[in-house]
Structure 1
Amino acid sequence: MITHIVMFKLKDRSPEAIERTAQVLRDMEGKIEQLKFLEVGLDVLHSERSYDIALVTKFESMEDLEAYQVHPVHKKVIEHMTQVREASASVDYVS
Structure 2
Amino acid sequence: MIKHIVCFKLKDNSDENKKETKEILMSMKDKVPMVRDIQVGVDFLKSPRSYDIILQVELDDRDTLDAYQEDPYHAGVVKKHMHEVMESSIAIDYDLD
TM-score normalized with structure 2 length: 0.95
Structure 2 distance, partners of 1:4, 1:61, is 10
- Structure 2, unmatched stretches of 5+, are none
How many residues align? The count is: 95
Specify the alignment match of 1:90 in structure 2. Answer: 91
- Secondary structure at 2:64 match in 1: helix
Counting aligned pairs with the same residue, the percent is: 43
Deviation at 1:21, TM superposition (A): 0.6
Task: Output aligned runs, 1:8-87, within 5 Å.
Answer: 8-75=8-75, 76-87=77-88
- Secondary structure at 2:94 match in 1: strand
Structure 1 distance, partners of 2:86, 2:33, is 26
Per-residue displacement from partner, 1:14-51 (whole Å, max 9, x unpaired)? 10011111111011112111110100000011101100
The alignment yields a C-alpha RMSD, in angstroms, of 0.6
Letter paired with 1:85: M
Runs ≥4 in structure 1, deviation > 6 angstroms? Answer: none
- Structure 1, unmatched stretches of 5+, are none
Structure 1 distance, partners of 2:52, 2:66, is 25
- Secondary structure at 2:46 match in 1: coil
Structure holding more helix per residue: 2
